[in-house]
């Protein structure tokens, strides 16, 4: 965990409880969230608010990330969003999996933060690293 300025107490709790190799999912408005998830933080107010990149950027101010998992489909369905996501992780390993496998992997996540994003496949699994 880094030191920053997130105001949402549930996001702060999720990040503070996240250990090395735990995962957090930042989602668009449509990704199904498993019912057994401990932390489900729904920030979506209406289409596009807050947008996916805003939520991702905010989480990245606090969370040390060592690896990222994306759905393979983001490359062709939403190339602009894909490029924006990659810009945030210039030195990290990016793993691509089919969307159905992505959804299966989310079942192991410590928590989800849902945005109001309507861009297809604007979802990311963040694998927590350590700051030392």
- Residue 82 annotated as catalytic: no
For each of the domains in the chain, give its residue range(s) and CATH number, in order of start: 21-128 (3.40.1650.10)
Q: Which of 20, 39, 82, 99 is catalytic?
A: 20
Please choose, from the candidates 107, 92, 120, the residue with its C-alpha nearest in 3D space to the C-alpha of residue 40: 107
Taking the CA atoms of the chain, what radius of gyration do you get in angstroms? Answer: 13
- Cα–Cα distance, 26 to 36 (Å, whole number): 17
CB distance 38 to 109 below 8 Å: no
CB distance 2 to 131 below 8 Å: yes
Residue 4: the pLDDT is 57
3-state secondary structure of 17: helix
Instruction: Read off the pTM.
Output: 0.94
Give the contacts of 124 (CB within 8 A, at least 6 positions apart). 25, 26, 56, 68, 69, 70, 85
pLDDT in tens, 46-100: 999 999 999 999 999 999 999 999 999 999 999 999 999 999 999 998 999 999 9
Confidence of residue 3 (pLDDT cuts 50, 70, 90): low
Confidence of residue 38 (pLDDT cuts 50, 70, 90): confident
Q: Which helix (H) or strand (E) holds 112?
A: strand 111-114
């Amino acid at each position: 965990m880094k030191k920053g300025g997130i105001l949402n107490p549930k996001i702060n709790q999720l990040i503070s409880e996240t250990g090395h190799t735990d995962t957090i999912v930042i989602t668009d408005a449509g990704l199904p969230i498993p019912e057994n998830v401990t932390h489900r933080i729904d920030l979506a107010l209406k289409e596009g608010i807050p947008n996916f990149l805003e939520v991702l950027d905010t989480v990245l101010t606090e969370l040390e990330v060592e690896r990222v998992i994306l759905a393979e489909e983001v490359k062709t369905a939403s190339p602009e969003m894909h490029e924006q996501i990659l810009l945030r992780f210039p030195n990290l390993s990016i793993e691509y999996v089919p969307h159905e496998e992505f959804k299966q992997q989310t079942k192991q996540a410590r928590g989800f933060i849902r945005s109001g994003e309507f861009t297809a496949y604007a979802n990311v699994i963040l694998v927590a690293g350590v700051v030392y």
